[in-house]
């Protein structure tokens, strides 16, 4: 069988079994979005292996369901790992002490959160995640010059928002003398 014939055979087999394969995942995965994702993974995996697909239509259908079974097992393993990781993270959050009001970072985090969403994310990418402004711009899908001007605006807003906190600290220091 030539490469073109194998490709055509693959397309016909997928078209003939597609509804059954979708239902296979829907019956086994509670979340329809996850089932659709597993079906997409099946299509990718089957395409990568399509040269191994048997020529007989019945055997090709069984082969596709075998690939679907393997994708389902992989999906379940990934979900189990994901669930375990989420549980560990939740446990860690429960045992991690919450920031105390005297934590100076709380005011800054609140000030950043009060910025418009795009500017807040830009500040976080640059100062928390260590990206340079042009790299953060690429992550956000904006022009580097736009990122620089937004960053300047965000810094000015943060200075304004943080000034009352500084003046309260300065007043307290002056009063305590």
Q: Please state the φ and ψ torsions of residue 101, each to the nearest 5 degrees.
A: -55, -30
Structure tokens at 81: 């790992």
CATH topology of domain 3-95: Rna Polymerase Sigma Factor; Chain: A (1.10.1740)
The pTM of this model reads 0.50
Whether the pLDDT of residue 154 is over 80: the answer is yes
**Domain limits, CATH 1.10.1740, in the chain:** 3-95
- Domain range 104-176, CATH architecture: Orthogonal Bundle (1.10)
Tell me the average pLDDT across 90-96.
78
Question: What pLDDT shows up at residue 128?
Answer: 85
Left if phi > 0, otherwise alpha if psi is -120 to 50, otherwise beta: which for 105?
A: alpha
Whether the pLDDT of residue 46 is over 90: the answer is yes
- Separation of alpha carbons 151 and 17, rounded Å: 53
**Domain limits, CATH 1.10.10.10, in the chain:** 104-176
DSSP for 43-108, written as a single string: HHHHHHTGGGS-SSHHHHHHHHHHHHHHHHHHHHHHHHHHHHHHHHHHHHHHHSPPPPTT-HHHHH
Residue with tokens 């369901």: 65
Contact 142, 119 (CB under 8 A): no
137 CB-near residues (< 8 Å, 6+ apart): 122, 143, 144, 146, 147
Q: 56, exposed or middle or buried, with CB in 10 Å at 0-12, 13-18, 19+?
A: exposed
* 104-134 pLDDT, tens digit each: 678 888 889 899 988 998 998 888 888 888 8
Q: pLDDT-based confidence at 96, cuts 50/70/90?
A: low
């Amino acid at each position: 069988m030539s490469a073109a014939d194998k490709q055509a055979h693959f397309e016909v087999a997928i078209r003939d079994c597609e509804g059954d394969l979708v239902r296979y995942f829907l019956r086994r995965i509670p979340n329809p979005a996850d089932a659709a994702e597993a079906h997409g993974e099946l299509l990718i995996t089957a395409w990568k292996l399509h040269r191994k697909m048997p020529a007989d239509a019945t055997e090709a259908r069984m082969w596709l369901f075998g690939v679907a079974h393997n994708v389902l097992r992989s999906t379940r393993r990934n979900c189990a790992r994901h669930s375990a990781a989420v549980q560990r993270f939740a446990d860690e959050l429960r045992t991690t002490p919450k920031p105390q009001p005297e934590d100076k970072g709380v005011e800054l985090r609140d000030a950043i959160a009060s910025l418009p969403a795009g500017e807040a994310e830009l500040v976080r990418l640059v100062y928390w995640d260590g990206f340079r402004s042009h790299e953060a711009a690429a992550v956000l899908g904006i022009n580097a010059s736009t990122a620089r001007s937004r960053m300047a605006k965000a810094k000015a807003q943060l200075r304004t928002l943080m000034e009352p906190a500084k003046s309260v600290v300065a007043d307290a220091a002056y009063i305590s003398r």
